[in-house]
């Protein structure tokens, strides 16, 4: 049991070190030797868990996917209105990016041409599905204009969400992301939500931003 625990701890250490380097340097610019040095493990320890750098990338994207589904599930369990659930989902995923390198590296891998091996869905396809279902619910609940094209809005929101993180990665620290999410929702709420319902969701965006900052600072 102790040996198994040590092996799991070593695997986690390697993945975290790889995620940090993939996030900061990119996949192509990071070698296995770099990861070994950054994780403070032996090459034998790395190869015991991962046969190739691609396996490490896949493990990171799988962890990112698991975390996204966990956040979505926890939000759904609380019974929020669909639009609130969607906003909380985007801020929840943002918090993951602020708190550690796995989510940040997962995004960089997804935008860097690293192949996603089935049955793992592509992160953007998974995000599109999570967003589309909540947008459809928000239309039914009249929190979003009835005449919107849900598919088009979902695609645009994915691009907005991903693009905000990609641009921010090269221009400002990750801790700035909650503010950028709040700004994103200020734009979206004004375009998608009927006027009488806007104050609730504009206030929610500010509150969710502050909750993340209070938790991570």
Question: Which of 21, 29, 24, 31 has the alpha carbon at shortest distance from 52?
Answer: 31
Print pLDDT tens along the chain (217 aa): 577 888 899 999 999 999 999 999 999 999 999 999 999 999 999 999 999 999 999 999 999 999 999 999 999 999 999 999 999 999 999 999 999 999 999 999 998 878 888 889 999 999 999 999 999 999 999 999 999 999 999 999 999 999 998 888 878 888 999 999 999 999 999 999 999 999 999 999 999 999 999 987 6
Distances in Å between the Cα of 113 and the Cα atoms of 40, 138, 188, 197 are 28, 33, 29, 40
CB atoms within 10 A of CB 148: 15
Question: Which of 104, 95, 101 has the alpha carbon at shortest distance from 123?
Answer: 104
Q: Is 146 helix (H, G, I), strand (E, B) or coil?
A: coil
pLDDT recorded at residue 217: 65
d(CA 186, CA 16): 34
pLDDT recorded at residue 197: 97
pLDDT recorded at residue 46: 96
pLDDT recorded at residue 112: 82
Q: What is the DSSP string of 106-133?
A: HHHHHHTTPPPPTTSPPHHHHHHHHHHH
Entry field: residues in the chain: 217
pLDDT recorded at residue 166: 87
> Is the Cβ–Cβ distance between 212 and 178 less than 8 Å?
yes
pLDDT recorded at residue 1: 56
Q: What is the DSSP string of 20-67?
A: HHHHHH-STT--HHHHHHHHT--HHHHHHH-SSHHHHHHHHHHHHHHH
pLDDT recorded at residue 97: 92
Instruction: Write the DSSP symbol of residue 176.
Output: G
Query: pTM above the 0.85 mark?
Result: yes
Q: Report residue 194 as tokens.
A: 């009927």
Backbone angles phi, psi at 28, to 5 degrees: -65, -30
Distances in Å between the Cα of 84 and the Cα atoms of 50, 64, 87, 117 are 40, 22, 5, 32
């Amino acid at each position: 049991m102790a040996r198994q625990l040590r092996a799991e701890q070593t695997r986690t250490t390697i993945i975290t070190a790889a995620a940090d380097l993939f996030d900061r340097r990119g996949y192509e610019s990071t070698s296995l030797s770099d990861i070994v040095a950054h994780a403070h493990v032996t090459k034998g320890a790395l190869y015991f868990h991962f046969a190739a750098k691609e396996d490490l990338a896949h493990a990171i994207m799988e962890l990112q996917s698991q975390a996204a589904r966990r956040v979505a599930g926890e939000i759904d369990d609380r019974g929020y209105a669909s639009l609130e659930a969607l906003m909380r989902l985007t801020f929840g995923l943002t918090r993951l990016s602020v708190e550690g390198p796995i989510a940040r590296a997962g995004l960089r891998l997804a935008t860097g041409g690293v192949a996603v091996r089935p049955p793992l869905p592509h992160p953007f396809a998974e995000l599109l599905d999570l967003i589309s279902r909540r947008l459809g619910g928000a239309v039914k609940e009249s929190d979003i204009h009835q005449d919107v094209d849900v598919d088009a809005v979902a695609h645009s929101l994915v691009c907005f969400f991903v693009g905000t993180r990609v641009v921010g990665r090269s221009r400002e620290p990750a801790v700035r992301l909650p503010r950028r999410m709040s700004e994103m929702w200020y734009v979206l709420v004004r375009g998608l939500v009927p006027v009488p319902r806007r104050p609730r969701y504009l206030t929610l965006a500010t509150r969710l931003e502050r909750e993340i900052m209070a938790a991570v600072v």
